Amino acid sequence: MVQKLFLRDLLSNPEDTQLHMVSLTGEMGLGREIDSADINRPGLSLAGFFDHFAGNRIQVFGKGESAYIDSLSHNEAIESFKKFFSFKVFCTIFTHSKRPPDIFLELAEKNGTPVFVTDLTTASFIRLLHHVVSETHAPQKNIHGTLVDVFGLGVLIIGSSGVGKSEAALELIERGHRLIGDDIVNVKWVKESMLVGQGSKFIRHHMEIRGLGILNVTDVFGIGSVRNRKRIELVVKLELWDDDKEYERLGLSETHYNLLGMEVPYVLLPVRPGRNIPILIESAALNQRLKKMGVYSAQELDKRIQEWIKLERSDG
């Protein structure tokens, strides 16, 4: 599933990537779809060189382009702008709060080209724009589960309905960890090797607890108990204990869960009365953090045992 991104979306993008864009041409062209993160700096085109001009890209006018426009006489500016808008230009964005001349806006409106201005620097704007477009177009899917920040590690808790995912997460939150999303978690594959999860925007930071109903985690536990998004670094699956099934006891082998084509470290936890699942999830998160540092507890213990066996044999 890939989302679509339109120019109007850039005016109300998430709080962590504010582009500070204001439309100077009203509602015109805001329904145009952005299908690429590529941008174009039209300095050479303004000077009359249009070979390989990528008019279908977002045109960003930085300080250099604005300074060049200011240096033009009225007639030179009209001639330059007419040539520029003779191409089908997707949209134009002026950085550093530099507003284009009125004749530029007139020709833009005549040719149906949206014009925006932002107070960001050119470098900051291009970086944030690339981030917004890339994330929107990133492969993604909705997962039935609960995502919690446990000791700084994004832990995705999955399992069949009624197995206790939300109850375990609620206990983790009460123990000081933070909720990202419950019931429906939107997972995106960004930055080549990173999976990022966030809660549904409709039920974000709310939890359904059987017997209690809907809880607003922010209201009950405070703003420090939630966050909007988190990198997923561990998948924990809860399942009802099956006496006929052999569960992992040593942890010598590494298991993974395939999520959007990526292999994520995976732990299967059987659930039955008397098992403290939240503490087990905390322990799994801490153990995974150790593994990221190159410390594999089970393998090191196995190595010491093997060395002890060899030593006993040699002494015998």
Per residue in 17-39, pLDDT (tens digit) is 689 999 999 999 999 999 888 89
Answer with the one of 105, 136, 167 that is the final residue of a domain. Answer: 136
Q: Residue 282: what residue type?
A: E
* Dist CA 102 CA 89 (whole Å): 18
What's the mean per-residue pLDDT of the chain? 89
Tell me whether residue 305 is in a domain.
no
Residues 100, 163 within the same domain: no
List the single range of 135-139, 154-158, 171-175, 182-186 with lowest mean pLDDT: 135-139
Answer with the one of 136, 163, 178 that is the final residue of a domain. Answer: 136
Residues 56, 127 within the same domain: yes
Residues 217, 112 within the same domain: no
Q: Is the pLDDT of residue 1 over 60?
A: no
Q: Is the pLDDT of residue 126 over 70?
A: yes
The percent of residues above 90 in pLDDT, for the chain, comes to 66
Confidence of residue 140 (pLDDT cuts 50, 70, 90): confident
Tell me whether residue 262 is in a domain.
yes
Residues 169, 218 within the same domain: yes
Average pLDDT rounded to a whole number, residues 298-305: 71
Tell me whether residue 199 is in a domain.
yes
Residues 246, 157 within the same domain: yes
Taking the CB of residue 124, how many other CB atoms lie within 10 A of it?
A: 14
Tell me whether residue 75 is in a domain.
yes
Q: Are 28 and 90 in contact (CB under 8 A)?
A: no
Nearest to 257 by CA among 232, 276, 224, 228: 232
Residues 251, 125 within the same domain: no
List the single range of 48-62, 125-139, 232-246 with lowest mean pLDDT: 125-139
Per residue in 189-236, pLDDT (tens digit) is 887 678 999 998 778 899 988 888 899 999 999 999 999 999 999 999
Answer with the one of 94, 114, 136 that is the final residue of a domain. Answer: 136
Per residue in 51-110, pLDDT (tens digit) is 989 999 999 999 999 999 999 999 999 999 999 999 999 999 999 999 999 999 999 999
Average pLDDT rounded to a whole number, residues 176-184: 94
Instruction: Give how many domains the chain has, as a whole number.
Output: 2
Tell me whether residue 255 is in a domain.
yes
CATH number at residue 77: 3.40.1390.20
Residues 150, 292 within the same domain: yes
Taking the CB of residue 166, how many other CB atoms lie within 10 A of it?
A: 21
Residues 251, 165 within the same domain: yes
Residues 194, 263 within the same domain: yes
User: What crossing angle do the helices spanning 277-292 and 165-174 adopt, rounded to 10°?
Assistant: 70
Q: Residue 139, Cα to own-chain centre: how many angstroms?
A: 11
Beta-carbon contacts of residue 297 (< 8 Å; ≥ 6 apart):
251, 287, 290
The percent of residues above 70 in pLDDT, for the chain, comes to 94
Which residues are the active-site residues? 144, 165, 183, 249
Report the pLDDT value the prediction gives residue 221, as an integer from 0 to 100.
Answer: 94
**SS3 labels along the chain:** CCCCCEHHHHHHCCHHHCCCEEECCCCCCCCCECCCCCEECCHHHHCCCCCCCCCCCEEEECHHHHHHHHHCCHHHHHHHHHHHHCCCCCEEEECCCCCCCHHHHHHHHHCCCCEEEECCCHHHHHHHHHHHHHHHCCCEEEEEEEEEEECCEEEEEEECCCCCHHHHHHHHHHCCCEEEEEEEEEEEEECCCEEEEEECCCCCCEEEECCCEEEEHHHHHCHHHECCEEEEEEEEEEEECCCCCCCCCCCCCCCEEEECCEEEEEEEEEECCCCCHHHHHHHHHHHHHHHHCCCCHHHHHHHHHHHHHHHHHHHC
Residues 75, 42 within the same domain: yes
Domain interval for residue 240: 140-300
Average pLDDT rounded to a whole number, residues 160-186: 94
Residue with token string 């959007």 = 260
Residues 13, 81 within the same domain: yes
Q: Residue 197, Cα to own-chain centre: how many angstroms?
A: 7
Residues 151, 90 within the same domain: no
* Dist CA 311 CA 316 (whole Å): 9
